[in-house]
Chain A
Amino acid sequence: MLYKIIIATVSMASISAILSILLVIAERYLANYGECNVTINDDEEFRTQGGATLLSTLNSQKIFLPSACGGRGTCGYCKCKVLEGVGPILPTEEPLLTAEEMKENIRLSCQIKIKQDIKIEIPEELFNINEFRTNVAMIRDLTHDIKLVRFSLIEPNEINFKAGQYVQLQTNPYADVKESVSRAYSMSSPNFEKSHVDLMIRLVPDGICTTWVHEYLQEGDDVRIIGPMGDFYIRESDSEMILVAGGSGMAPMVSLLEDIAHRKIDRKITYFFGALTRKDLFYLDEMAEFEKKIPGFTFVPALSEPEPEDEWDGETGLITKPLEEYLQKIDAIKCQGYLCGSPGMINASINVMKKYQMKMDQIFYDPFG
């Protein structure tokens, strides 16, 4: 009997061992891409171990392409031009590339892997993107589900950005989440305050990053952020600015308004802010303050589902309702639109703006989410 057990064990073990050895050898030769050369804009060059995605390889070289989704292939921000050294377009890239971009060899750097020497082109301004070591200086409740978090910059200790841009917040591992993820948040701090960054973060049920911020992040924690990124910032002009935001979409608007007040820019600005009920509204005092500081500024909050006890006498309905009523009254063709909020709100607002002849190239937004 014992003999039988030993025979069985030994033979199964040796079969497994032989197979494992085979696999190890195969991995040595098949999954090993060796060292590859990465050439950027024809002048900078570095060597790296192949096999990783282009985005993560560039990140490890402290070159940060914008990425709002953290490499999941959903935001399409990390596009870059690949001149040579990459295979055909992958199914995961297709939905995010236009036919024109495909022709120009624009690729999603989070999806393609470095398997051989590769030549890429990235815009010079991306070299300004930095990774900051920061310390959580303050966490404050703005509403029942939105928190304002202030990150003091440690290394580097100053950030230069345009009001309205965003940063990527890298989570620390917590509870069951063992991996660090990164998510994009617009900065609400003004760009003349360079020593810290404020983010407004709304709790998304089951969201990896927002749960971390709301339930685990403590004042004094060390956190890494990457930025600044994005092309949501003020376009200089005399035309009226129409701001539309909902929930934590308030963040970049506060930064824009601070910048405008600080530089004493004289433009007409109307800001439509949508919320569900009175308890989802915040920063009303700050907005009243801006109305005093900026002569042409009007703040229009609207509640879509006001409770009876809210005693709300302002605008009601979706934010598109007061927006549409306002655009009817003015010469909308010349206006600039600045939008921040949920994709649904942004699309609905764009449709209204287009209906009143606002030009697509004068409507600016960051499609997070």
Chain B
Amino acid sequence: MENLSPWVIFFASIFTGNILLVYFLGMCSFLSVSKQVKTSLGLGLAVTFVLTVTSALNYIVFFYVLEPLGLEYLRFIAFIIIIASAVQLLEMVIERFSEVLYINLGIFLPLITVNCAILGVSLFMVIRQYNFIQSVMFGAGSGLGWLLAILAMAGIRQRMNEKKIPPALRGPGIVLIITGIMAMAFIGFSGIVQIQ
């Protein structure tokens, strides 16, 4: 993967390899926080921030601490600890500077810790043997991709509020169907570039 430009990875992880619509990672908060555009934007930015920071931190810890010591098998624990701390830090920052966003994100902010998209990106980065710059771009791109997906979903759901939906499909049901259609639409991008 040495030869791929970081920018290619960046755009590819937004469109062709969208972490949410192609790999279906990070669904929990995607389903529950996509009711309003404003909140989704906040959560999306938080996820992007955490993804970028943790992919950099995890890269350093994996390639400079775990690999030299032969401790690759500990990467799950190490990654999760780092992600958890980064989220804690982010939580403090948000509470300090925007209480409105803090309350809107509610329980989903600490839940970013167990958002599988975050761990997924760090693990992909190891499997695909990206270098540092590529990893950070991959993290940032995946975050923006997730943000794009949840923003689109929130926009659709806001308009859907006024529409008649069969009672059985209200809530997560219709959201999953829309997610499926969005995912199919994103296949349209897949011809542009491949990163695996």
Contacts and interface: CB of A to CB of B under 8 A. Distances in A.
Contact of A15 (B82, B100, B104): B82
Contacts of A92: 103
6 contacts: A7-B69, A7-B70, A12-B77, A19-B85, A20-B85, A22-B85
A87 B81 contact: no
Nearest to B102: A90
Given A87-B99, A91-B103, A27 B92 contact: yes
Interface residues of B, number: 22
Interface in B57-103: 61, 65-66, 69-71, 74, 77-78, 81-82, 85, 88-89, 92-93, 95-96, 99-100, 103
B82 A30 contact: no
B61 A30 contact: no
A11 B71 contact: yes
Contacts of A90: 99-100, 103
A11 B71 CA distance: 9
Contacts of A12: 74, 77-78, 81
Given A90-B99, A91-B100, A113-B99, A11 B66 contact: yes
B74 A19 contact: no
A200 B88 CA distance: 45
Interface string A1-30: 000100110011001100110110011001
A89 B99 CA distance: 9
Interface string B43-64: 0000000000000000001000
A91 B85 CA distance: 27
Nearest to B89: A26
Contacts of B92: 26-27, 30-31
A7 B68 CA distance: 11
Interface of B: 61, 65-66, 69-71, 74, 77-78, 81-82, 85, 88-89, 92-93, 95-96, 99-100, 103-104
B93 A30 contact: yes
Given A22-B89, A88-B100, A31 B81 contact: no
Interface majority SS (helix, strand, loop, mixed), chain A: helix
A25 to B, nearest CB: 10
Contacts of A87: 99-100
B71 A7 contact: yes
Contacts of A16: 81
A31 B103 contact: no
A30 B98 CA distance: 12
B96 A31 contact: yes
Nearest to A113: B99
Contacts of A30: 92-93, 95-96
Nearest to B73: A8
Interface in A13-70: 15-16, 19-20, 22-23, 26-27, 30-31
Nearest to B65: A11
Nearest to A10: B69
Q: Which of B78, B82, B99, B103: most chain A CB closer than 10 A?
A: B99
A91 B33 CA distance: 15
Contacts of A88: 100
Nearest to A27: B92
A23 B88 contact: yes
A22 B71 CA distance: 23
Nearest to B39: A91
Contacts of A4: 70
Q: Which 7 pairs from chain A and chain B are nearest by CB? A: A19-B85, A30-B92, A30-B96, A90-B103, A91-B103, A26-B89, A31-B92
Nearest to A18: B85
Contacts of A19: 81-82, 85
A88 B103 CA distance: 12
Contacts of B96: 30-31, 115
